[in-house]
Amino acid sequence: MDKPVPRRVTIVDVARHAQVSTTAVSKVLRNAYGASPAMRSKVQQAIAELGYRPSAAARGLRGQTYTIGVMLPELRNLFFADILDGITAQLGDSDYQVLLAPGCNGEKAEARVIDAMMDRSMDGLVLIAPVSAKSRLNEVARSVPTVVVGRHGASPAYDTVTDDDIAGAALVVEHLAGLGHRRIAHIEHHETDRVRLAEMPNAQRARGYRDAMILHGLEAEIDIASTSYTQTGGYLGAQQLLARPVRPTAIFAGADVVALGALEAIAEAGLSVPGDISVAGYDNSALAAFGPISLTSVDQDGRQMGIDAARLLVERITDRERRTAQVKLSPTLVVRRTTAAADAED
């Protein structure tokens, strides 16, 4: 009556039940070389009969843990959720289990999470938009197979998967310029760190914006509000821009959430979108697609990024000596109802 904890079934039990050695069972578990079909089926039957499940802790002590860790800065960001979908889709039928840490913002939280994952002997890591120092990332990648998503800059130690943010920003400027806009402003995420200045998507988007403005002969119209990639950042940034002596006729927000904040500020100012001012975002998150918002946005195909990241990671786990790869995906522009032709008078 009182044996509610009937001791875990171990590899020894399976071996005994199947009348083979534990080595044999281990081989079957790992699909390793050196087990005859006959033995294989005998063992598999025993496993099924006993309901055996290997202990990841014990496996991890010697071999793999069959666990992939994913770190991302923010769970609420729908774009990150898309990346995750891609990762899990790609890893769905493999033996790997994906586990993620709850949103961790900032270098300190990142360090904690990465340590935690390494402590748990994870077989591979996917780091989404990490802000840690590059030296730290390299160090991590040297000790565990790692793929970095959403941060530019090649590394000898880890693979990268990014969106071509410069091209994405150019798409927006091109679109708006094509609609007759000249005073196209940008809300960027303020960045101080040198390396991040070059590697983070936000910096690349701002650069793409500048380049494209120059390319369209709008160099004199370049106008950037420097806040942060948050809804509040968008709100404040738009307020700044709307207070200009001559108001911009279009705002390119560096992210969809930023655009949402901008939309709020614009509405509060009594202006209409796209009548008085056009707004475009970046990420094409579900929020952008949502009917009442219907935001023109750059689509990064986060799902594909996740698929590529998972693929690269498994490849690297298999062959740790392979040279690192940099996958850069081309974004597309999804035009919706927040952008329209500029008034002729403007």
Partner DNA sequence: ATGAAAGCGCTAACAG
Partner DNA sequence: CTGTTAGCGCTTTCAT
Residue 87: contacted member of DNA, a second copy, none (CB under 5 to 8 Å, by partner type): a second copy
In the chain, which residue ranges form alpha helices assigned H by DSSP?
11-18, 22-30, 37-50, 56-62, 78-91, 106-119, 134-143, 165-178, 194-199, 201-215, 231-242, 256-268, 286-289, 302-318
**Subset of 35-94 contacting a second copy (CB under 8 A):** 53-61, 65, 67, 69-70, 75-76, 78, 81, 84-85, 87-88
Q: Decide if 261 contacts 281 (C-beta within 8 A).
A: no
Classify each residue of 50-79 as buried b or exposed e, where b means 16 or more C-beta atoms within 10 Å of its C-beta: eebebeeeebbeeebbbbbbbbbbbeebbb
Residue 99: contacted member of DNA, a second copy, none (CB under 5 to 8 Å, by partner type): a second copy
Q: Which is nearer to a second copy, 101 or 167 (CB)?
A: 101
3-state DSSP percent of the chain in helix, strand and coil, to 5: 45, 15, 40
Tell me: does residue 33 bind DNA (CB under 7 A): yes
Q: Is-cis flag, bond preceding 274, omega within 30?
A: yes
Tell me: does residue 105 bind a second copy (CB under 8 A): no
Q: Which stretch binds a second copy (CB under 8 A): 146-154, 206-214, 261-269, 327-335?
A: 261-269
**Subset of 129-168 contacting a second copy (CB under 8 A):** 142-143
Rounded Cα distance between 134 and 251, Å, is: 32
Burial class of residue 136 (count of CB atoms within 10 Å of its CB; 0-12, 13-18, 19+): middle
Q: Which is nearer to DNA, 20 or 171 (CB)?
A: 20
The residue among 75, 72, 337, 77 whose CA lies nearest residue 230 is: 77
- What is the total count of residues that contact DNA (CB under 7 A)? 31
The residue among 257, 202, 256 whose CA lies nearest residue 226 is: 202
Rounded Cα distance between 162 and 308, Å, is: 10
Shortest spacing between CB 18 and DNA, in angstroms: 9
Tell me: does residue 98 bind a second copy (CB under 8 A): yes
Instruction: State which of residues 116, 167, 179, 271 lies at the interface with a second copy (CB under 8 A).
Output: 116
Q: Which stretch binds DNA (CB under 7 A): 3-11, 125-133, 164-172, 230-238?
A: 3-11
**Subset of 36-95 contacting DNA (CB under 7 A):** 36, 38-39, 52, 54-55, 58-59, 61-63
Rounded Cα distance between 119 and 326, Å, is: 27
Chain residues binding DNA by CB under 7 A are 7-8, 10-12, 19-27, 29-30, 32-36, 38-39, 52, 54-55, 58-59, 61-63
Chain residues binding a second copy by CB under 8 A are 4-5, 53-61, 65, 67, 69-70, 75-76, 78, 81, 84-85, 87-88, 97-102, 113, 115-116, 118-121, 142-143, 260, 263-264, 267, 286, 290-293
